[in-house]
Amino acid sequence: MKIPVFIVLLFLCFSCRTHDPAEDRMVGNAEKAMLSDPRKSFDLAQDLLNNHSLTHKNKVRSLFVLANTSNVMGKPLDVIKYGNLTVENATEESDMIMKIKALTLIGNTYQSIQLNEKLRTNLDQAEQLLSSPAVPDSMNVIRGNIFYLKAMNYFSNMDGNIALSYFDKAIHQYLISKEPVARINLKFAYINKGWALIDQKRFDVARQNFALAKADPGTDSNNYPPLFMERLETTCALAEAKMCAVQNDPERSNTILFGILNDQKNIQVRKEFENDIYKLLADNFLKKNEVAKYDYYQNLYLSRASQYNQVAADLVNKLIRQEGEEYALKKKKLTVNIFY
């Protein structure tokens, strides 16, 4: 069963001032809209880069907005494109924090498409920069993101004990962070730690982590877009269904799973998890010796898995072409600069 992998790599209220208050204000407006209206935020940043002569710092900030909002909108190729541009332009010592954020964001995208070697390269760079004296100790949410991604990498490679140690490190950093966005990162760290604990049959501790992951409708729903909260809600329900299944209660598990499938509110999020749901339903019906239903959901799972694998392969091929084109363009620019 695929592990739910999700993390909100957003960094709001980044304090950076130049000698142009009007320009700062426009970039700040793009940053503030990253969570509430990512499409608007992306368009604002793109307009600033295309139609304004930005200071160095505001150019880097705007590029990161493009990368970050691409992540929220589910456009991995754009995340890597604009993330790399952020890293390339973050050349001054004062850009160090933004460079670390961009490297972590790119690493998150590589994690989502299982390019583990590229993930490790970006995380190692980010972690090395994080130890620089130019980076304040207060960057807890960034440290948490790096630890989280390392945990997911170890988990996907079936090294549960090391994964759990990194989940704990990430959770600690999110808990002491003062950035509001750390709260939702924390919830997904609890969820994925819970999945790792299920693999070790530590069910009571897993349930404790799933309980900590649940959203507080009184506060969380007011701070994040509905899509994030719906994803959190669906992931928690799926985790509960998995717990019931592994503890030999397939009936209760199926009730939860069909509840997710029939939920008309979370259609977009439901589609993200449909294949996991079909696989768990198939396993549950096999336990109940309902062979016809097992065959039905197993075939659905296999069909969707094949489609998913093809989409993932196409994405990796597009990424290879994109990186090849970017390398050729850089080489051409370098040749021109040397000539002149």
Q: What is the pLDDT of residues 244-300, one digit of tens each?
A: 999 999 999 999 999 999 886 767 777 778 889 999 999 999 999 999 999 999 999
Q: What is the pLDDT of residues 23-66, one digit of tens each?
A: 888 888 888 888 778 899 999 999 999 988 888 889 999 999 99
What CA–CA distance (Å, rounded) separates 193 from 186? Answer: 10
What CA–CA distance (Å, rounded) separates 127 from 266? Answer: 36
Confidence of residue 10 (pLDDT cuts 50, 70, 90): very low
Task: State CA 154 to chain mean position distance.
Answer: 16
**Are the beta carbons of 104 and 9 closer than 8 angstroms?**
yes
Terminal-residue alpha carbon distance, the chain: 56
pTM of the model: 0.78
Of 190 and 330, which is predicted with more confidence? Answer: 190
- Cα dihedral 80, 275, 271, 258, rounded to 10, equals -150
How confident is the model at residue 53, as a pLDDT?
85
Highest-pLDDT range among 52-56, 84-88, 228-232, 314-318: 84-88
What CA–CA distance (Å, rounded) separates 189 from 210? Answer: 10
Phi, psi of 140 (to 5 degrees): -65, -40
Largest Cα span, the chain: 75
Q: What is the pLDDT of residues 123-174, one digit of tens each?
A: 888 888 888 766 676 688 888 988 998 898 888 887 889 999 999 999 999 9
